[in-house]
Structure formats: C-alpha cells, structure tokens
C-alpha cells in the first residue's frame, strides 16, 4: 500500500509518496490559502491513489487560533469563576512592558454562563439542581452558539455535574459540539484546563468542517485512509481528530520532528538538535535518545494549551521572511513573510520586498540557472533590486546588506535552538545538528558555529523531510488522568487500578497498539512536573524522576518525597519501517568547482568549504572551515575541520 505525506507550508506544500517496496517519490507545489492546494490532488493522482493512505499535517487549528477564526463559543463554568480566562495567572506579557496586554481569550465575556453549583476536593459543596440545569441550558441556547465549553471546579476529581450539563446541552443543541473538561483534560489547574477546553470547543466547528471536506475529497480520489498528524507526533483518524481539535494546534511542525527521529534510527545518532526552515518560519526541536522531547504546556496564538505535544520553538525566519529597517536604523528580518503569493521578489510573481531568499540569490548561494521547487525560475535582477532598496535605507553596500539579512535570520534561528536546548539544561555541543526544510541546509554550518557544535547531518530528502515524517509517523492516541499521590504510597496495584479506565478507553480506540504508561511527577511545592515512565511501583517512578530531574536541572535530592500528580497513557501503532535513502551518483566535483549537483556525487566524496551543493528540494552551503562528506544514503555529513 502506498503511503503519502502532505505537509502544507506557508510557501510550498510538500508531497512524499512511499510505495510498498520502500521507494520514495517527492514533489512540491505552491501553497494556497485553503490548506491543501488544488494542485496537490493531480500530483497525488499521477502517483496512484488506489488503496493508498494519506497523512496530512494541517495548519487549520493553528491558523484559527492565530486569526481568531473559530466558532462562537459559550463557556459554562462554576458561578464566581466567570472571569478566569481574563485573570489568567496574573502574569504580564513582558516584564517591562506595562501597557502591553495578553491576546484576548477565544470566548467573549458576554458568552460566559455561571452555574450555581460547587464541587470541592472532598466532594459536593453545592448540589446542581434540575431547575438550574434548565436555566443554564436556556441561557446558552439564547446565545446561538456554534460550540459550547464546560469547565467546572474539581470536575477532574468528580465529573458528575459536568456530565449532567453536557447531556442536557447536547440534547438541546443537536449538531453543536459540546466539549466538557473532564473529557478533554481531566487534570488540576483550573486556568489551563478551562483554557484548553475552551480552545477545543472553539476549534471543533472549523476542524470538523475541514476534515469532512478532506474525507470526501480523499474518497473521491480513491484514497484508502485519511490520517491527521497530531501535536504529540502521532497520527489520528479523521473521526478521532474531530473530537481532538486542540490536539492539532502543532500538527504541521510535528511531522518534521518525526522525520528527524527516523533519521536518528538509520544514521545511528540518538541525540539531535533539529531546525526545520521553510518559506515562512523556522521550527526548532530536540530528539534525545532517539525520541522527540515532549511537554504539556504550550501557547498558540496567545491561548494556553495543556495537551501533550512535541517540543517546538517557532520563529518568523524563513526563506520568504521580509527584510526591513526599523526606526532606529537597524536591519530586521521577519516575522512578516511574503508567503506563496506574491512570494520573494526573485520568484517573479509580483513581489517587490526583499526576503532571505532574495539575499541568498544576491550572494550566489542559489543558482539562478536552476529552477526552484514547482519549476519556479529565479530572477536575480529582481532580487538585486529588492535588496537594493533596503540596502539604501540602511546605508549599506548591496552584498553587505544581503549578508546582513542572512546574519539576522541566522541569529533568530540560533535563539530558537538555544531555547529548546541550553534553556532546558541540554548542551548543544553534545548533539548533532539536523537542518532541513527547503532553506535549512543553507544555514547548517553557521548555526552550528554559533552554538559551538562541530557536526551536522543534512538528510536525504531534506527539503521534504516533514512530509516524509508524516508518511512514516505512527498512529497514536493519548489519555490523561489525575492522581495526586505520594510515590511512596503508590503500589503497583494502586497504579494498575488508576490506569485501568484509560487502558480500556485506549484499547477501544485502537487495536494492535503498544501501550505506554507515564507519570507526571514533582517535588512537593514545585510549580510544574516532569514526565517519567510510569511502569512499576511508586519507588521505581520516583527513581526515574530523580534521574530526569538531574539531567534537566543539574541536581536532584533523592531523600525528598516525590508526588505523582497526573497519569498519562499513550497507545501507539507503528507504521511500516522505512529506509531513508536518496539517490547517489558516481562522480566527484570538477577540479576547482565551487558548486555541484548533489545527486551526481558518489558516496564518501568529500568537499571542502566554501562550497554549494544543489539538490532538487534544497540547497546546502558548506562554509569555510567545514567539510561535507556524501553519505551512502545520499545525505551529507558536515564536520568542523
């Protein structure tokens, strides 16, 4: 069965096919605003869609949070807590920007309904009466919502009141999605639980409509199965994704990290620092011991989401990021992007603003005689004119301005790489840098130098690695439950009982899957938790926590008690193994050459920087002081001399 991965970027949409023999085909088309561009379907049809599986990395949920384009949502919460989403945690956006406000919640203040009920840690404090349920339902119905979120106090501990309200609202509003917090995120911390539940409800109308359209279109094309990449690095069926809309908020970038994980398996390198640089943005992440680093707190479009997701730090530094001069005369790059249309000036599609791609063309990094993705020819004269405008404004020579644009973009990406490594206690000098995406390999050596790293690997199919990761990603569903128990009191039987309900739900949702238990733990008094393996008894979990705490923060106190706060369960079904191997040639670079066509070069050929290597999906720059050796797979191993 053929597997397809389709990764929709801000500039290009990448398509990868993997046939039943492991053969890989790639393609790129320009992106459209409507997610999957119409040009994608003929590209799939040309490769054959009968009995095929399509995995899609979508930005529908991400864009809806950024642009506030979800459905009108009514929030139902315990009376007295109607202002929770606006109070947040009473932190400021920026420490010294006293006038700056947080982005508005996804719910309007007039669409919050308080409920006369109360559950506390020890049980019911104020009962939920039937006449109150009728009043709340009527109040919600009169607002004509497109979605409803329910988040009551201590519903993670006792969900009876939420269940009663959810049942009544679903009967009164057939066809309107109702998201209850005990179903979405049954854990403590009222603000994060309420915010995540509100986001889930807000996204469901848009996500459901998009997935319904996608399913129909996929069926029309003869595709056997449609799967959606979730933020945790696994895939969901379209049916599962409809009721896990908030879990798609980081769907797109997660595919690239899964592609890097595949690389770690086949190159024998277990610890990676990854950078996916596309046309609009760059995404940094970490793979440790062959597994992507994950966390449970994220903010997307100003909306906190407390769902498991692959650790990703995004910056507005892509090939299409626009260069400009600020009021102080400093050269800046991004976050605004030229996008797919009109795109960089050198695309010849009407764009006139200078971008990172234009700067690379001015410096000779890109070859104007070789078409870019989607048969797009590059116009060097247009790039020179565009960069020239900002050079004049900044009072810089043309090439110095182009070099400055490259330096500013590189600095932005290095900051993102530091945030996912150094700021989490991970020394990047002990990792291997893996740059990918259409523009990432051009910056490989510069980023590594900035971080003190001496080794990088540019994988085969680097320009479409995210789509390849989608095609090879495992199916995965995550479940969460609250526990609040000291590790010393947690016996194996206690934990088995606590996991039992989640395991029943998991086996009902996915057959033939690998089950993994995790526990979120902390020292008493700590504000946040660490995720550790949850097998065995509390003593084993505590030892795992001490070890991970020492790795992450540089210290641990094994004499202190450890609290188990939440339990997490993942059900994973791995995809068919995939061998990551591109084309290799038989040649060596011509004597005195400064660039070569990468697929022509033979394995173990080494080039000495400065040198440019062109491929159909990306361009790689080997900087001075670096060497690039062609790997048997068709990738390139970069090493500091």
CATH class as words, domain 70-202 = alpha beta
Q: Indicate whether 457 pLDDT > 70.
A: yes
Helix/strand/coil for 630: strand
Q: Judge contact between 198 and 190, C-beta under 8 A.
A: no
Q: Indicate whether 20 pLDDT > 80.
A: no
Q: Judge contact between 266 and 580, C-beta under 8 A.
A: yes
- In the chain, where the domains are located: 70-202, 475-573
Half-sphere exposure of 157 (CA within 13 A, CB side): 14
Q: Judge contact between 107 and 85, C-beta under 8 A.
A: yes
Query: Closest Cα partner for 603 from 572, 582, 626?
Result: 582
In terms of C-beta density within 10 A (0-12 exposed, 13-18 middle, 19 or more buried), how is residue 518 classed? buried
Residue 12 — very low, low, confident or very high, per pLDDT cuts 50/70/90? confident
**pLDDT tens-digit readout, 162-197:** 999 999 999 999 999 999 999 999 999 999 999 999
Rounded CA-CA distance 177/520 in Å is 30
117 Ramachandran zone, left/alpha/beta (phi>0; psi -120 to 50): beta
Rounded CA-CA distance 177/140 in Å is 13
Q: Indicate whether 436 pLDDT > 90.
A: yes
Q: What is the mean pLDDT of residues 609-616?
A: 93
CB atoms within 10 A of CB 215: 17
For 249-278, b where at least 16 C-beta lie within 10 A, e where not — what string? bbbbbbbbbbbbbbbbebbebeebbbbbbb
Q: Which residues, listed in sequence order, are joined to residue 324 by a DSSP beta bridge?
A: 332
Tokens for 207? 């996500």
Order of strands across the sheet that contains 73-78: 112-115, 73-78, 147-151, 178-180
Q: Indicate whether 62 pLDDT > 90.
A: no
Residue 598 — very low, low, confident or very high, per pLDDT cuts 50/70/90? very high
Residue 636's contacts (CB-CB under 8 Å, 6 or more residues apart) are 441, 457, 458, 598, 613, 620, 628, 629, 630
Rounded CA-CA distance 278/276 in Å is 6
Q: Which pLDDT value is given to residue 408?
A: 96
Tokens for 607? 């080039």
User: What 8-state DSSP symbol labels residue 562?
Assistant: -
Rounded CA-CA distance 332/321 in Å is 10
More confident residue, 33 or 482: 482
Residue 58 — very low, low, confident or very high, per pLDDT cuts 50/70/90? confident
Residue 84 — very low, low, confident or very high, per pLDDT cuts 50/70/90? very high
Most confident of 53-62, 94-103, 180-189: 180-189
**pLDDT tens-digit readout, 544-566:** 999 999 988 889 999 999 999 99
Q: Indicate whether 33 pLDDT > 70.
A: no
Helix/strand/coil for 291: strand
């Amino acid at each position: 069965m053929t597997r397809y991965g389709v990764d929709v970027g801000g500039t290009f949409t990448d398509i990868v096919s993997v046939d039943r023999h492991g053969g890989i085909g790639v393609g790129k088309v320009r992106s459209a605003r409507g997610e999957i561009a119409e040009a994608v379907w003929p590209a799939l049809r040309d490769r054959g869609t009968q009995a095929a599986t399509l995995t899609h990395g979508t930005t529908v949920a991400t864009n809806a949070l950024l642009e506030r384009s979800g459905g009108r949502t009514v929030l139902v919460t315990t009376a007295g807590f109607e202002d929770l989403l606006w109070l947040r945690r009473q932190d400021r956006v920026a420490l010294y920007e006293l006038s700056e406000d947080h982005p508005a919640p996804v719910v309007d203040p007039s669409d919050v309904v308080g409920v006369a009920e109360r559950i506390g840690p020890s049980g019911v404090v104020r009962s939920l009466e039937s006449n109150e349920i009728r009043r709340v339902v009527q109040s919600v119905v009169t607002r004509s919502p497109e979605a409803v979120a329910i988040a009551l106090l201590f519903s993670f501990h006792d969900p009876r009141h939420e269940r009663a309200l959810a049942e009544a609202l679903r009967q009164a509003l057939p066809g309107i999605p109702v998201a209850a917090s005990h179903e979405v995120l049954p854990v403590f911390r009222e603000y994060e639980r309420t915010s995540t539940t509100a986001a889930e409800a807000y996204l469901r109308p848009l996500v459901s409509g998009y997935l319904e359209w996608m399913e129909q279109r996929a069926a029309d094309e003869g595709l056997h199965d449609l799967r959606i990449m979730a933020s945790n690095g696994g895939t969901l069926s379209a049916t599962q994704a409809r009721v896990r809309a908030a879990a798609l908020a980081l769907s797109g970038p997660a595919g690239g990290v899964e592609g890097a994980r595949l690389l770690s398996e086949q190159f024998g390198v277990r610890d990676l620092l990854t950078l996916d640089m596309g046309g609009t943005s760059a995404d940094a992440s970490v793979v440790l011991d062959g597994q992507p680093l994950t966390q449970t707190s994220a903010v997307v479009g100003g909306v906190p989401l407390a769902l498991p997701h692959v650790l990703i730090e995004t910056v507005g530094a892509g090939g299409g990021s626009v260069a400009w001069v600020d009021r102080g005369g400093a050269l800046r790059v991004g976050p605004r992007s030229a996008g797919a249309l009109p795109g960089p000036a050198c695309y010849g599609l009407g764009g006139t603003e200078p971008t990172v791609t234009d700067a690379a063309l001015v410096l000779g990094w890109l070859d104007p005689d070789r078409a870019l993705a989607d048969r797009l020819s590059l116009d060097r004269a247009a790039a020179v004119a565009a960069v020239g405008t900002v050079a004049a404004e900044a009072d810089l020579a043309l090439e110095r301005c182009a070099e400055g644009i490259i330096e500013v973009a590189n600095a932005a990406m290095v900051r993102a790489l530091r945030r996912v490594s150094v700021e989490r206690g991970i020394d990047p000098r002990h990792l291997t840098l893996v740059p990918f995406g259409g523009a990432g390999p051009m910056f490989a050596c510069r980023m590594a130098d900035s971080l003190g790293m001496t080794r990088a690997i540019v994988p085969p199919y680097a320009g479409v690695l995210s789509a390849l990761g989608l095609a090879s990603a495992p199916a995965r569903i995550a479940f969460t439950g609250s526990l609040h128990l000291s590790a010393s009191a947690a016996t194996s039987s206690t934990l088995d009982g606590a996991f039992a309900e989640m395991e029943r739900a998991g086996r009902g949702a996915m057959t033939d899957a690998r089950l993994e238990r995790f526990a979120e733990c902390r020292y008493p008094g700590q504000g946040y938790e660490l995720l550790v393996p949850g097998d065995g008894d509390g003593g084993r979990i505590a030892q795992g926590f001490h070890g991970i705490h020492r790795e992450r923060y540089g210290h641990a106190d094994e004499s202190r008690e450890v609290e188990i706060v939440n339990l997490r369960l993942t059900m994973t079904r791995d995809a068919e193994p995939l061998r990551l191997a591109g084309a290799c040639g038989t040649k060596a670079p011509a004597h005195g050459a400064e660039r070569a066509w990468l697929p022509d070069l033979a394995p173990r050929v080494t080039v000495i920087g400065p040198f440019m290597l062109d491929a159909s999906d990306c361009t790689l720059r080997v900087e001075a002081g670096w060497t690039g050796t062609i790997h048997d797979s068709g990738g390139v191993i970069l090493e500091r001399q």
